[in-house]
Chain A
């Protein structure tokens, strides 16, 4: 079995890439994708945690969390994408730096 630290590392890199994506990208669509990436990094950690836990046979909390997060991510992306489509129809672009009317 691969060591736990590898999975940790993978998850951390995925999360960081996600954060970087959220911070660096200006396109709303890519931000959503980066968000998904971050969620998946966490999900990976959950699964690894559940698998490597001493009572892994009896304890499936991690997997349950995975299902939960997956559902959450699906609904989030559904709402998010619909907003993105709406926004695109209104503004004809998805640049969040220009979408700052809430400032004042």
Chain B
């Protein structure tokens, strides 16, 4: 029941938060905080096992496995399971949930109850996505995380929020529809081939379907995940959504929602369609590389800080795509590490932009400048996370990018050379961000009431710094944690590939 409890805590917490607004407008955020903290309780035992008893988990793929029946007539189960990969991503989700909560604490003043309901339900949806092992259940959670996010953007967003929210919704919904179709096709084909009607991932895994149809089904899944990642031709919802979303939603969006795409590829596309993904790999890597360069070039010309960070996300997630389809353990470990590191560094940048906007009421790069002389702490954090996003060794992003490029260099050296140019381009836009925002003279009259980071902001940002440094200097525990999942998942392609 542990996983179900984990899933229901934010759902129930969200309902409570909504209801409690009637009594006091400050109550919902406290309830949200408590329920987010409670979410750590179910994780206690697996984490405890891993930290103090680290040999036992390596033996079996699933740390926790909880199959339940749900709709028996179609053999749809409420099957949740957790392995190292999903544990890692859930920990990231919960951490970033706390960060989002911290950034929303003072920013959100209208309809607080409904806001925290949506925030917690999005998180619940994401947790569900990371845990669901039944494909139908996966799809349900995939949709569950969208709707609250739509409300978060369209109710609490900035000036052009409705457009952004609708764009976000249409893109992801189209991807979701494609996934539903391919999911049904997969189950249908599996039924034809084996006579067994099941939506269960573990069973489907045992008989990977083959043939032409498998390729199309794999493509359907992949595109659904590419939309979420977002990879190149489907990326354009992201800048709008990020720009208009309130800071908390941006954090959730960048830190965890995008990761579901990468997770989906690693968990479903690669193991379920080993042959098809081999065929897809070159084009997917090409898309990844184009995404890296295109995103970086777009980031370079943006004048809106949030848009700049959003396009840098496109560039960084290109690395994830590259790593996922490189078919070796270095690149896969790198892709997972990139998901973690990007989640933290980018959402930290969004938090910072939120703070700047809260203080100066603008996100326009040309109107900012010289913040260092007035807000040295905030600027130092900005410098740190800017440097992190350009891949400074010693921080998580570098380890990730290094491994991804190392892994993909083995098979696609030419593509990787282009991907590596992303390192230079990343430096260009990151330095531009730092240069325009923090250096130079302050523009316009400075309001002396604007203060540097308060304790809450300081603690939030500092802890994110430490996580990034830890990821960069001691990533080994994370590699060990996901090693079993990744080698188990990719043994077929890696044998064929090498």
Does A touch B (CB under 8 Å) in the complex? Answer: no
Q: Residues of A at under 8 Å CB distance from B?
A: none
